[in-house]
């Protein structure tokens, strides 16, 4: 196991009715002038936004609003938020929504106190030293941004989806998580979220680090729990227990709990980010196409952990033929993804003729000549994975 620092200071307030504690939590973390950030309307439609504004009013906490964040969020909304936040003298960000809303709020939080362009942090030109605090009201378990220090924004100029990782600065101070708020999620979004959280665990699990049996078992156990609960939640969207399990799984998948001490991979996420940047598909659906293709490639190039994954997560019987075990695991994973309504090829994702040349080119421009760690992937390798996803 490698050395690690595990720092996850977010206070998670989980369960029925917990959004009623929003104002109390904002006050606890010294928010006096709040910017509420939300998406395209789900929080308005459900009445959640009004409830939160009422709670803040009752607690005499001033607030302004920034609505209309789109999935795969882009920079114009971040600039708008920075301007609004400065003009209104905001000292706390309150995203109400999912990864796109939270990530936008995080970029605003580090953009407000910075004199330069917030993109400097994403391109490595500068390192954020300050950020406004933020607290989250989560409405979709998926990206895990409520417990992560990361933000992912698409630069409209050149369609580059870039991420910033700052565990110390951008982890939310609190995250309110009421599984009942996820009852209104369409089946497609529920399934995209499930796929994304599974991918977050797998990015950590597929590692060459030795002596990691405890992290491995945590990853495998959480994945198995997700698979069981996912099948339940797709059939019974109003099942509180299933929604609750899925919601918590989304957080632990990405707050560093799983995979501590392991060298992480992240190639599949990088491969996917190019797809959602160019074709504006849901991140989770893009991962449903890329991860099985990446695993198929790994069955040929570094089979060990893929065979273990097949056995322990997908119950594939042990055999001397590790490659066959691995491929059977991939087949079972694809059949699960189909069962929850996810695509597993570009075509099923609605992209008939993906521009693989462009995907490969942008991927390596944005992420370097070699991506991933489980196997370091060059342009030929990433092309092959995109091609497998296109079969
Ligand atoms: O915009 P509204 O109207 O709110 O609708 C949203 C959106 O259309 C809807 N939704 C959310 N909660 C709902 C609801 N609809 C009905 N009822 C509810 N309770 O769901 C749609 C998707 O929302 P979004 O925030 O885009 O989803 P998600 O949480 O999957 O976030 C995806 C973004 O996060 C990034 C992705 O790349 C993508 O841009 N990621 C962020 C990470 C991080 N910060 O750590 C890590 C991830 O790997 C990921 O890359
Ligand atoms: Zn993800």
- Domain contains 227: yes
Q: Which residues of the chain are under the pLDDT cut of 50?
A: none
- Domain contains 5: no
CATH number of the domain residue 312 falls in: 1.20.1090.10
Q: Which long-range contacts (CB under 8 A, 24 or more apart) does 333-337 make?
A: 333/291, 333/292, 333/295, 334/292, 336/227, 336/230, 336/231, 337/195, 337/288, 337/292
Instruction: Tell me the β-bridge partners of 3.
Output: none
- Domain contains 4: no
Atom number, ligand 1, closest to the C-alpha of residue 189: 20
* Residue 241 CB–ligand 1 contact under 6 Å: no
Query: What is the pLDDT, as a whole number, of residue 167?
Result: 74
How far apart CA 182 and CA 234 sit, in angstroms, is 12
Domain range for 48? 11-181
* Residue 256 CB–ligand 1 contact under 6 Å: no
- Read off the pLDDT of residues 27-74 as tens digits, 9 standing for 90 and up: 999 999 999 999 999 999 999 999 999 999 999 999 999 999 999 999
Looking at the fold, whether 297 and 242 belong to one and the same domain comes out as yes
Last residue of a domain, one of 152, 181, 210: 181
Last residue of a domain, one of 124, 157, 181: 181
Q: 59's torsion region: left (phi>0), alpha (psi -120 to 50) or beta? A: alpha
Looking at the fold, whether 136 and 240 belong to one and the same domain comes out as no
Last residue of a domain, one of 181, 200, 232: 181
Output the CA 196–ligand 2 centroid distance in Å: 5
- Domain contains 2: no
Nearest ligand to the CA of 254 is 1
Looking at the fold, whether 213 and 295 belong to one and the same domain comes out as yes
How far apart CA 348 and CA 359 sit, in angstroms, is 18
| 3-class DSSP string for 312-350 | HHHCCCCCCCHHHHHHHHHHHHHHHHHHCCCCCCCCCCC
Atom number, ligand 1, closest to the C-alpha of residue 192: 30
- Read off the pLDDT of residues 255-299 as tens digits, 9 standing for 90 and up: 999 999 999 999 999 999 999 999 999 999 999 999 999 999 999
Strand order in the sheet with 174-177: 11-14, 174-177, 133-138, 92-97, 33-38, 62-66
Looking at the fold, whether 63 and 108 belong to one and the same domain comes out as yes
Mutate to test the pocket of ligand 1, among 36, 73, 142, 187 (most ligand atoms within 8 A of CB): 142
CATH number of the domain residue 107 falls in: 3.40.50.1970
Query: What is the pLDDT, as a whole number, of residue 81?
Result: 98
Atom number, ligand 1, closest to the C-alpha of residue 101: 25
For atom 34 of ligand 1, the residue with the nearest CA is: 99
Give how many domains the chain has, as a whole number.
2
pTM (global) more than 0.95: yes
* Residue 172 CB–ligand 1 contact under 6 Å: no
Q: Would you tell me how many other CB atoms lie within 10 Å of the CB of residue 356?
A: 17
- Domain contains 49: yes
Looking at the fold, whether 173 and 199 belong to one and the same domain comes out as no
* Residue 96 CB–ligand 1 contact under 6 Å: no
Query: What is the pLDDT, as a whole number, of residue 158?
Result: 80
């Amino acid at each position: 196991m490698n050395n690690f620092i595990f720092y996850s200071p977010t206070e998670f307030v989980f369960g029925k009715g917990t959004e009623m504690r929003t104002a109390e939590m904002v006050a606890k973390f010294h928010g006096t002038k709040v910017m509420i950030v939300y998406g395209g309307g789900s929080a308005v439609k459900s009445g959640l936004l009004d409830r939160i504004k009422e709670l803040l009013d009752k607690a005499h906490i001033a607030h302004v609003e920034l609505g209309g964040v789109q999935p795969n969020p882009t920079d114009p909304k971040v600039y708008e938020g920075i301007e609004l936040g400065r003009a209104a003298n905001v000292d706390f960000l309150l995203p109400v929504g999912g990864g796109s809303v939270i990530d936008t709020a995080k970029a605003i939080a580090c953009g407000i106190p910075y004199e330069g362009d917030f993109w400097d942090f994403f391109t490595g030109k500068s390192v954020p030293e300050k950020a406004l605090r933020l607290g989250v009201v989560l409405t979709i378990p998926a990206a895990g941004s409520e417990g992560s220090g990361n933000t992912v924004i698409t630069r409209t100029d050149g369609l580059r989806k870039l991420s910033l990782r700052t565990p110390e600065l951008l982890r939310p101070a609190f995250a309110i998580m009421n599984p009942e708020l996820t009852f209104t999620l369409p089946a497609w979004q529920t399934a995209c979220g499930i796929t994304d959280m599974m991918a977050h665990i797998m990015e950590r699990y597929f590692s060459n680090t030795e002596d990691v049996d405890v992290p491995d078992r945590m990853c495998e156990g959480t994945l198995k729990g997700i698979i069981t609960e996912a099948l339940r939640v797709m059939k019974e969207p109003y099942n509180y227990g299933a929604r609750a399990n899925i919601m918590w799984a989304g957080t632990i998948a990405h707050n560093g709990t799983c995979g501590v001490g392991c060298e992480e991979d992240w190639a599949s996420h990088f491969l996917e980010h190019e797809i959602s940047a160019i074709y504006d598909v849901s991140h989770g659906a893009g991962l449903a196409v890329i991860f099985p293709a990446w695993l198929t490639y790994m069955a040929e190039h570094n089979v060990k952990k893929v065979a273990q994954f097949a056995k322990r997560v997908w119950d594939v019987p042990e055999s001397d033929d590790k490659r066959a075990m691995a491929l059977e695991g991939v087949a079972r994973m694809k059949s699960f993804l189909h069962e929850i309504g996810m695509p597993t090829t570009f075509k099923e994702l609605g992209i008939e003729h993906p521009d693989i040349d462009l995907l490969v080119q942008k991927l390596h421009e944005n992420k370097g000549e070699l991506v991933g760690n489980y196997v370091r992937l060059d342009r030929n390798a990433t092309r092959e994975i995109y091609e497998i996803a296109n079969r």
